[in-house]
Structures are given as structure tokens and as C-alpha cells.
Amino acid sequence: MNSDNKIEKQLQNYLFMQGIVSDQTVWRTQTGGRTNKVWRLEGERDLICKLYLETKTNPLFNNTPEAEYKCLLWLEGSDTAPQPYKYLKTPFGEVLLYNYVMGETWSNDVDTVSELLTQIRKHKCPKGLRSLSNLPSDIKQIGLNIINKLNSYHKDKLIKICPEVSISDIEPVLLHTDVVPGNLIIGDKGLRLIDWQCPAIGDPIVDIMMFLSPGMHEIYGSGKLSMKDHETFLMNLTPKLRDRYNIIGPLYHWRLAAYCFWKAEQGYIEYENAALEEINLLKMI
């Protein structure tokens, strides 16, 4: 029995002893997640079980179980996120269970994503989440910190193409921070945003930029957005947010390019093309 199967069996036994699942529950490994171990539990309830792994070394996306649970509770009843079931600390790590969202991964209709993110932005922010600075100097510094971790020849090129940005402050909102196609599930009850393990409070452009990211669509979707869909999504924003994206969006895309090169050097080679897609976008916006 390999280590993954051993952990799954131990967790099954633990949740059974806690009375959370029955011995008839069928465990199915989910392959979409890249950060944590995830199973679908088919039994009296249809649940997702997420076992969190340690990812403190990630320079951009943290992995915070309690924050994800807090967000699911906060958004409960809003028809924007999965319904939470239980959060617990186990001998094998922190575990979150929430209702399985039946549906397909989003692949088209940017209008529905606009509506979903607008609805989430209208929520007040729960207390206790990390706050992200929206100062261009801080965004740039995070990008430079990531670049300093690189071994590749891309370092000098990235530094040279860093956008120079000056922009006023904006009221912070609740952020998912990882709005990629793989985290958008469309079903009979509409669109839902899953995988809230790295939420924050900050600039709404963070989520807008992430959805528009051509690199993330290449990795987690069915290919990058067409320019028509890109423009349609932007036109659905308020004029204030659209203008803000046009000014500070390139800096966020630049930082994401640096992150993608870093991921590529960690062995996820598909991220190199994603980084190049971000750089190509910078030439167009």
C-alpha cells in the first residue's frame, strides 16, 4: 500500500470513528486539485473531503484551512460557494468537508462569471482574513521577491518589462484570489466558486485579473479567452473597476508571470507557457 492509499485508509477509519461517514461511504479521489488531497465521499451525503497539505513555501498563494471554512460559512446561502459541512483537526492534518457541487467545469459565458464575482464583492468582509496591499510598490516588491527565487534567464527580462503604475487606493473587498476555470463549477443551480483555501481582503482587481489570466485558462481551462470574451468581461465591470484594471492590471499580470516561471522551476513545466502567455498579454493591454 503506497503512502497516499495509507493516508486515505487511515482518514476513512478516523472519520468513521467520529461518526462523520459510514462504512458504506464510497471514496473517490478527485484529480483537479494541485495543492491538497481531495476526495468525493458518496454516501448519505455527497461530500467533498479536503485534507490540507503544508504549502508555506508558496510565495503568492497561501493554504489556509480555517480561512476557507470561515469563507464558506460567511457565504452560506448566497448561492456563490459550496455549503460547508464540517471542519476538524485530525492526526493526519486539517480536514474540511463541504457539499459536493454537481456540475461541469466552466468553459464559456463570461457574463455568468461577472455576475458571480459582482455578487461576492457585495458581501461584507469576514474578520480575520489576511489583507493584501493594493499599493503598486508592494505588488511590485512581491513580484521582485519571486523573481529573486528564479534560476532562469527570465529574471532580467521580467525586471525590464515591469509596468510602472501610479493609482489611488480603493475600498478592499472579499477575494477568492484563485478564480481560474477549474474552480468555477456550473450546474443546475448556477455557477459556484470552489476552493477558497487562499482568500483575502484587498483590491477587487486581484480576482478580475486572475479570471482574465491567459496562462491560468491554458492550465485550468480549455485554452485562453478570446479577446472578444476578454473585452466582454471588462465591459461588464463598472467604469471605475474597468479603468482600474487598465491601469494596475498589467502589474498584477506581470507578477503572475513571475510566479508562473517560479512554478515551472518547481517542476510544473506547463507553467512556463503560462508565464509567456501573461507576458504576451502585457503587450496587448
pLDDT of residue 54: 73
Cell matching residue 34? 494541485
pTM of the model: 0.95
Can you tell me the distance from the alpha carbon of 183 to that of 194, in angstroms, rounded to the nearest whole number?
5
Stretch 204-213: mean pLDDT, rounded?
Answer: 98
From 67, 99, 131, give the residue that closes a domain. 99
Whether residues 177 and 111 fall in one domain: yes
Question: What mean pLDDT, rounded, does the chain reach?
Answer: 94
| Axis crossing angle, helix 239-265 with helix 270-282, rounded to the nearest 10 | 150
Number of structural domains in the chain: 2
Whether residues 108 and 81 fall in one domain: no
**Of the ranges 83-87, 150-154, 277-281, which one carries the lowest mean pLDDT score?**
150-154
Stretch 121-137: mean pLDDT, rounded?
Answer: 96
Residue 120 is part of which domain span? 104-282
pLDDT band per the 50, 70, 90 thresholds, residue 126: very high
**Residue (of 15, 87, 5, 9) closest to 52 by Cα position:** 87
Whether residues 62 and 120 fall in one domain: no
**Residue (of 213, 231, 235, 232) closest to 279 by Cα position:** 213
Whether residues 182 and 134 fall in one domain: yes
pLDDT band per the 50, 70, 90 thresholds, residue 57: confident
Stretch 136-154: mean pLDDT, rounded?
Answer: 94
DSSP secondary structure letter of residue 85: E
Stretch 146-167: mean pLDDT, rounded?
Answer: 93
CA distances from 267 to 60, 215, 238, 271, 277 (A): 17, 16, 39, 9, 18
pLDDT band per the 50, 70, 90 thresholds, residue 31: confident
From 99, 131, 148, give the residue that closes a domain. 99
Whether residues 94 and 121 fall in one domain: no
Whether residues 48 and 120 fall in one domain: no
The answer to whether residues 129 and 67 touch, using CB atoms and an 8 Å cutoff, is: yes
pLDDT of residue 98: 98
Cell matching residue 78? 448566497
Whether residues 117 and 86 fall in one domain: no
**Domain of residue 112, CATH code:** 3.90.1200.10
Site of grid cell 521577491: 145
Whether residues 223 and 256 fall in one domain: yes
Provide the percentage of residues in the chain whose pLDDT is more than 70.
97
Whether residues 36 and 132 fall in one domain: no
pLDDT of residue 105: 94
**Domain of residue 24, CATH code:** 3.30.200.20
* pLDDT > 80? residue 252: yes
Adjacent-strand bridge partners of 108? none
pLDDT of residue 264: 95
Adjacent-strand bridge partners of 16? none
Tell me the per-residue pLDDT of 91-112, one tens digit each, with 9 for 90 and over: 999 999 999 999 999 998 999 9
Can you tell me the distance from the alpha carbon of 263 to that of 150, in angstroms, rounded to the nearest whole number?
10
Whether residues 114 and 244 fall in one domain: yes
Can you tell me the distance from the alpha carbon of 250 to that of 162, in angstroms, rounded to the nearest whole number?
9
pLDDT band per the 50, 70, 90 thresholds, residue 177: very high
Q: How many H helices and E strands in the chain?
A: 10, 10
Tell me the per-residue pLDDT of 78-90, one tens digit each, with 9 for 90 and over: 999 999 999 999 9
Provide the percentage of residues in the chain whose pLDDT is more than 90.
88
From 35, 70, 99, give the residue that closes a domain. 99
pLDDT of residue 53: 86
Site of grid cell 507576458: 279
Whether residues 149 and 82 fall in one domain: no
Strand 104-105 and strand 190-193: pairing? unpaired
* pLDDT > 80? residue 2: no
- Residue 22's Cβ-side half-sphere holds a number of Cα atoms within 13 Å equal to 7
Give 192-244 as a DSSP string: EE---SS-EEE-THHHHHHHH-HHHHHHHSSSPPPHHHHHHHHHTS-HHHHHH
